[in-house]
Amino acid sequence: MRVMGIDPGLRACGWGVIETDGARLRHVANGTCRPEGEGMGARLLSLHGLLSAVLATHRPDAAAVEQTFVNAGGQSTLKLGQARGIAMLVPAQAGLAVGEYAPNAVKKAVVGVGHAGKDQIAHMVKMQLPGCAPDSADAADALAIALCHAFHLQSAGRLAAAIGARA
């Protein structure tokens, strides 16, 4: 199964695609979309096009996006929310259910603690996906989101199998 993680942003939107085969994890690709254009509408349209191209190229089976945390400034939170809307729309348009994870849940799943720093996240992503070289901190975060979603999907599958075996 291919899983895509997206770390939304209007200046830098990280993305990462991994492949799972049982407990085996493999890095497929990662990168950072840098939307261009004058004004919010143009930047959101650019982000939509960039993420759509990534999705078409790598054809994930599942996708996940990091939830927005409230920044000190309300204006930045609203702008990030708009980018997050595009990040959720693109996989949904492709027929994928989109998982959502709080930043602390992603950190806990990948690093083991909910308040890990960006350097710790990048280090653990590289440890779990040998040969992976994220092109930015945003791409490393996106790969961490993909890992978190893969772990969640594996756990849900095992739980469904256990419940089915008891029935």
* pLDDT tens track for 124-164: 999 999 999 999 999 999 999 999 999 999 886 654 555 66
Tell me whether residue 36 is one of the annotated catalytic residues. Answer: no
Query: Can you give the pLDDT at residue 166?
Result: 61
Mean pLDDT of the chain: 90
Tell me whether residue 21 is one of the annotated catalytic residues. Answer: no
Structural domains in the chain?
A: 2-166 (3.30.420.10)
Per annotation, catalytic residue among 19, 38, 138, 141: 138
Per annotation, catalytic residue among 66, 100, 135, 141: 66
Per annotation, catalytic residue among 7, 19, 119, 141: 7
Query: Can you give the pLDDT at residue 89?
Result: 97
Q: Which residues are annotated as a binding site?
A: 7, 66, 138
Query: Can you give the pLDDT at residue 75?
Result: 79
Question: What order do you get walking across the sheet with 62-66 strand by strand?
Answer: 24-33, 13-21, 2-7, 62-66, 98-101
Q: Which residues are annotated as a binding site for Mg(2+)?
A: 7, 66, 138
Tell me whether residue 66 is one of the annotated catalytic residues. Answer: yes
Q: Which residues in the chain come in under a pLDDT of 50?
A: 159
Query: Can you give the pLDDT at residue 158?
Result: 54
Residues 6+ apart with CB under 8 A from 77: 68, 70, 71
